[in-house]
């Protein structure tokens, strides 16, 4: 049984056929509501990225909310006063004056302001609501375990919109099943924080009724899929009912975005990339023995690989890169065209960079001129941290937390207890990934944040689709290709 079936007061998601294809959750906003909606309408699992949605929605509103989509979603938010406060703060009819910086939003913290929680809840509601609008297909949302401070309020906002699945990777999401069960009943819930330099226990708490005023009906609890890289984590998470997910996504090192570090000594090849070996391949037979449905990811972007996964006992596959390059992707259109042109010409170069991400996890980086993959461009960027989603808490004094990120100014990071060595080579993913989707910040001195693109290294499906659709493809065409 799943946690849904063994928890007396949770409102379970009605039974439905398991998807064969899960469109990966790619942040920031590459897995847009448009992409997730298109995949869902093709009767597979469309997934929106839940990373930094507060900034994404605030910036879309400041850009004039073309098409009125965000405002249409917020008209359905169950507490209109909250939605109205967000609109009054951020919406700009006609958009910002060119060259005007986006308004800042408060960084994540253990004790956020009410306005920050409101924006987070409203933003996650809006993205899921738009993805689910006008059809009865399944929609999920993907969170990063590394962005713990946002998780409770973000998950609650998605649940208010009726999200069907929650997916989480980049860590060990042991507390999420119980969190979702409590949020479905509008209960106050807390999430333990990983605090550097401390053995004391800290947590972030979220009280749904204090935010909304209460009186809302119970919510349906979404199914939870834990994204892990090793079968031992799958076994670990199923030992207790409170940590047991409803299924797993087993992600290998060929996947885009963040990868699990190699097991063992962590050697690098001549190009400075981590070396993965047989020990990094999950034992799928042991995963299957756990008895929960699972999907495999990282190198499964062709119909032949989908068949291989099913033959190994998987319910299906999770695929990112094919959908990142589809027409409904949130990627800036110029970037997407450049990626497709490069794939059709000299080919894309994709590195597993062990330093790019401040999380310490290896991160796939596409080598593209004019982006932060270029060493000269990276060195010219003023080093700053004003979004701060990947900051981690550390103990300043007993009972008091500070926050630091190795991608912030080196002197600042060292002053907070970090080291210059740890800061070397780190890139500001928060700002770069928002630039990937056309929402990069413009500074008052005229500097504009530049992108840093990530894709998986499995490009066989991309090559096949590009041959069949030289002008590019839709999400529905990608689904049809994988189902062939």
Burial (CB < 10 A; 0-12, 13-18, 19+), residue 349, is exposed
Picking from 258, 262, 295, 259, the residue whose alpha carbon sits closest to that of residue 278 is: 262
Distances (CA, A) of 398 to 66, 155, 191, 200, 394: 48, 29, 19, 8, 10
In this prediction the pTM is 0.95
Picking from 21, 44, 37, the residue whose alpha carbon sits closest to that of residue 306 is: 21
| pLDDT, tens digit, 9 for 90 and up, residues 399-432 | 999 999 999 999 999 999 999 999 999 999 999 9
| pLDDT, tens digit, 9 for 90 and up, residues 140-159 | 999 999 999 999 999 999 99
Residue spans of the chain under pLDDT 50:
1-10
Three-state SS letters, the chain: CCHHHHCCCCEECCCCCCCCEEECCCCCCCCCHHHHHHHHHCCCEEEEECCCHHHHHHHHHHCCCHHHHHHHHHCCCCCHHHHHHHHHHHCCCCCCCCCCCCCCCCCCCCCCCHHHHHHHHHHHHHHHHHHHCCCCCCEEEEEECCCHHHHHHHHHHHHHCCCCEEEEECCCCCCHHHHHHHHHCCCCEEEECCCECCCCCCEEEECHHHHHCCCCCCCEECEEEEEECCHHHHHHHCCCHHHCCCEEEEECCCCCCECCCCCCCCCECCCCCECCCHHHCCCHHHHHHCCCCEEEECCCCCHHHHHHHHHCCCCEEEECHHHHCCCCCCCCHHHHHHHHHHHHCCCCCEEEECCCCCCCCCEEEECCCCCCCCHHHHHHCCCCCCCCCCCEEEEEECCEEEEECCCCCHHHHHHCCCCHHHHCCCCCHHHHHHHHCCCCCECCCCCECCCCCCCCCCCHHHHHHHHHCCCCCCHHHHHHHHHC
* pLDDT of the residue at 170: 80
């Amino acid at each position: 049984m799943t946690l849904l079936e063994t928890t007396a007061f949770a409102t379970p998601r009605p039974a439905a056929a398991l998807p064969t294809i899960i469109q990966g959750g790619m942040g920031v906003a590459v897995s847009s509501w448009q992409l997730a909606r298109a995949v869902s309408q093709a009767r597979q699992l469309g997934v929106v990225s839940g990373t930094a949605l507060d900034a994404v929605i605030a910036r879309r509103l400041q850009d004039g909310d073309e098409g009125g989509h965000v405002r249409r979603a917020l008209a359905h938010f169950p507490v209109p006063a909250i939605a109205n406060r967000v609109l009054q703060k951020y919406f700009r009819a006609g958009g910002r004056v060119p060259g005007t910086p986006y308004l800042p939003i408060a960084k994540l913290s253990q004790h956020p302001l009410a306005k920050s929680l409101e924006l987070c809840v409203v933003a996650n509601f809006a993205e899921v609501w738009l993805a689910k609008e006008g059809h009865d297909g399944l929609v999920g949302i993907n969170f990063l375990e590394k962005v713990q401070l946002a998780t409770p309020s973000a998950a609650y906002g998605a649940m208010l919109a009726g999200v069907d699945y929650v997916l989480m990777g980049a860590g060990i999401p042991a507390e999420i099943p119980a969190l979702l069960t409590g949020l479905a009943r509008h209960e106050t819930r807390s999430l333990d924080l990983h605090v550097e330099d401390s053995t004391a226990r800290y947590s972030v708490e979220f009280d749904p009724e204090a935010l909304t005023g209460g009186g809302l009906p119970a919510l349906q609890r979404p199914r939870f899929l834990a994204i892990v890289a090793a079968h031992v984590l799958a076994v670990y998470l199923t030992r207790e009912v409170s940590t047991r997910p409803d299924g797993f996504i087993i992600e290998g090192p060929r996947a885009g975005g963040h990868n699990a570090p190699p097991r063992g000594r962590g050697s690098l090849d001549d190009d400075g990339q981590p070396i993965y070996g047989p020990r990094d391949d999950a034992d799928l037979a042991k995963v299957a023995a756990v008895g929960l449905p699972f999907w495999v990811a990282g190198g499964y972007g062709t119909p032949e690989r989908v068949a291989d996964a099913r033959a190994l006992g998987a319910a299906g596959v999770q695929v990112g890169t094919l959908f990142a390059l589809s027409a409904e992707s949130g990627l800036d259109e110029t970037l997407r065209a450049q990626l497709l042109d490069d794939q059709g010409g000299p080919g894309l170069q994709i590195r597993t960079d062990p330093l790019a991400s401040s999380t310490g996890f290896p991160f796939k980086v596409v080598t593209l001129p004019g982006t932060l993959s270029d060493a000269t461009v990276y060195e010219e960027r003023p080093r700053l941290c004003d979004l701060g989603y990947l900051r981690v808490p550390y103990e300043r004094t007993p009972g008091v937390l500070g926050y630091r990120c190795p991608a912030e100014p080196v002197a600042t990071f060292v002053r907070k207890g970090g080291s210059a060595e740890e800061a070397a080579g780190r890139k500001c993913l928060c700002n770069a990934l928002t630039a990937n989707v056309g929402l990069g910040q413009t500074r008052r001195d005229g500097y504009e944040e530049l992108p840093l693109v990530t894709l998986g290294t499995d490009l066989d499906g991309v090559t096949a689709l590009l041959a069949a659709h030289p002008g590019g493809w839709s999400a529905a065409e990608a689904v049809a290709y994988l189902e062939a």
